[in-house]
Amino acid sequence: MQVILIQDVNNLGGANELVTVKDGYGRNYLIPHKFAVEASSSNLKRLAERQKQMAKKEEKLLAEINSVVNVLQESPLKIGAKTGTSGKIFGSVTSVQIARAIREQRGYEIDRRKITILDDVKELGSYKAKIDFGKGHETEVDFEVIAE
Domain coordinates of the chain in residue numbers? 2-63, 76-147
CATH fold for the domain made of 76-147: Ribosomal Protein L9; domain 2 (3.10.430)
Helix axes 95-106, 41-72, angle to 10 degrees: 80
Confidence class of residue 66 from pLDDT cuts 50, 70 and 90? confident
Q: Which runs of consecutive H residues, i.e. helices, occur in 5-136?
A: 23-25, 41-72, 95-106
- Report CA 102 to chain centroid distance, whole Å: 16
CATH number listed for the domain at residues 2-63: 3.40.5.10
Q: How far apart are CA 31 and CA 143, in angstroms?
A: 51
Is the whole model's pTM more than 0.75, yes or no? no
Q: Count how many Cα atoms sit within 13 Å of the Cα of residue 125 in the half-sphere of its side chain.
A: 10
Of the chain, the percentage scoring pLDDT greater than 90 comes to 56
- pLDDT of 1 over the 90 cut: yes
Q: How far apart are CA 18 and CA 41, in angstroms?
A: 12
